[in-house]
């Protein structure tokens, strides 16, 4: 009943404005309200949506997307959304309950749909007896491979075009321009890694967020915490990591913007590896920081890897 009324009202409105086309092609009066679950995804939606979309994120800059404690404000953002973007691949374990609670009828687009997932890395777990790191079967951090972000962008473009067909051309043009920037980024990543001597391409990070980066670009990452931040690394994990750093002569450990730095500082102290600065794994920096967009995040990480791993 309500739906029939709405369609009738829209039809009358489109007659009123003299539109000859179908109702769905009428321009939106206000920007599309998009919600993205975390800051990196929010930036990608902004890049494609431009001025036709406002983007709210649930997990903001410098915050941990694995572990949101949803608030009523989060449910309200979802309830008011026209479209919702999630990473998928098990990143947002908190999302299903929240979206049900919000009562939203907005379509949910899984940005990683079509990405080939890689299994969760858990290599040092074998070394110290094979305990599990959460229940992650696949690694959710697909955005660390630029090729996967092309898929994200295509899914975002198609999702926006569906809820706002009047601006589909604008979304296609913005996506195409952004894909060209991703091509340039990918060339820079490959060139930067190629400059690092192969035996120095090893890095320690707090949690296993760089599996896709490692698989795509040939840098090896070792992390005490597994692919999720749900559980703390145990003293045994830390001891195993320190042994591994010494054995493999890993040049540098990195602090992530979403994690407590103290453990990595301890690991650096006890292993003799140097602290190679801060890397951005699962979240952007604040807008005035060095990783305010996805492109800046990747370039900032690259600079940190390069600075710490180049000899002399």
Residues near Zn ion, by CB under 5 A: 209, 282
Smallest distance, Zn ion to C-beta of residue 223, A? 10
DSSP string of 184-211, one letter each residue: HHHHHHHHHHHHS-GGG-EEE-SSS--H
Smallest distance, Zn ion to C-beta of residue 158, A? 26
Q: Cβ closer to Zn ion: 64 or 164?
A: 64
Q: Cβ closer to Zn ion: 209 or 304?
A: 209
Q: Cβ closer to Zn ion: 122 or 282?
A: 282
Smallest distance, Zn ion to C-beta of residue 5, A? 45
Smallest distance, Zn ion to C-beta of residue 283, A? 9
Residue closest to Zn ion, measured at CB: 282
Smallest distance, Zn ion to C-beta of residue 9, A? 45
Q: Cβ closer to Zn ion: 64 or 82?
A: 64
Please tell me the distance from the alpha carbon of residue 148 to that of residue 115, in angstroms, as a whole number: 6
Q: Cβ closer to Zn ion: 209 or 233?
A: 209
Strands 108-110 and 83-86: parallel
Query: DSSP E strands: which ranges in the chain?
Result: 32-38, 53-59, 83-86, 108-110, 202-204, 220-222, 252-256, 274-279
Please tell me the distance from the alpha carbon of residue 59 to that of residue 56, in angstroms, as a whole number: 9
Q: Cβ closer to Zn ion: 160 or 209?
A: 209
Smallest distance, Zn ion to C-beta of residue 64, A? 7
Task: Choose among 267, 236, 268, 212: nearest CA to 126.
Answer: 236
Coil vs helix vs strand at 212: helix
Please tell me the distance from the alpha carbon of residue 149 to that of residue 311, in angstroms, as a whole number: 31
């Amino acid at each position: 009943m309500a739906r029939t009324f709405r369609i009738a009202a829209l039809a009358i409105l489109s007659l009123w404005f003299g539109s000859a086309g179908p109702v769905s092609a009428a321009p939106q009066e206000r920007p599309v309200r998009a919600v993205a679950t975390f800051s990196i995804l929010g930036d990608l939606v902004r890049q494609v949506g431009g001025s036709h979309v406002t983007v709210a994120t649930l997990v903001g800059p410098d915050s941990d997307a694995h572990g949101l404690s949803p608030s009523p404000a989060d449910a309200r953002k979802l309830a008011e959304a026209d479209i919702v973007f999630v990473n998928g691949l098990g990143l947002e374990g908190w999302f299903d309950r929240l979206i049900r609670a919000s009562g939203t009828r907005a379509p949910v687009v899984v940005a990683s749909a079509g990405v080939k997932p890689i299994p969760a890395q858990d290599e040092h777990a074998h070394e110290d007896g094979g305990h599990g790191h959460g229940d992650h079967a696949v690694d959710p951090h697909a955005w660390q491979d630029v090729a996967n972000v092309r898929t994200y962008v295509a899914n975002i473009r198609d999702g926006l075009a569906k809820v706002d067909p009047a601006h589909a051309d604008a979304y296609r043009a913005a996506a195409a321009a952004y894909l060209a920037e991703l091509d340039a980024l990918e060339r820079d990543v490959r060139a930067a890694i190629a400059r690092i001597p192969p035996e120095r391409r090893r890095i320690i990070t707090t949690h296993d967020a760089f599996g896709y980066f490692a698989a795509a670009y040939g840098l090896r990452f070792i992390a005490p915490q597994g692919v999720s931040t749900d559980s703390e690394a145990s003293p045994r994990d830390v001891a195993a990591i320190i042994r591994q750093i010494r054995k493999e002569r890993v040049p540098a450990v990195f602090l992530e913007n979403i994690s407590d730095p103290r453990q990595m500082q301890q690991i650096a102290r006890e292993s003799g590896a140097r602290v190679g600065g801060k890397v951005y794994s699962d979240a952007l920096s604040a807008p005035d920081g060095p990783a305010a967009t996805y492109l800046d995040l990747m370039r900032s990480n690259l600079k940190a890897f390069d600075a710490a791993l180049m000899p002399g």
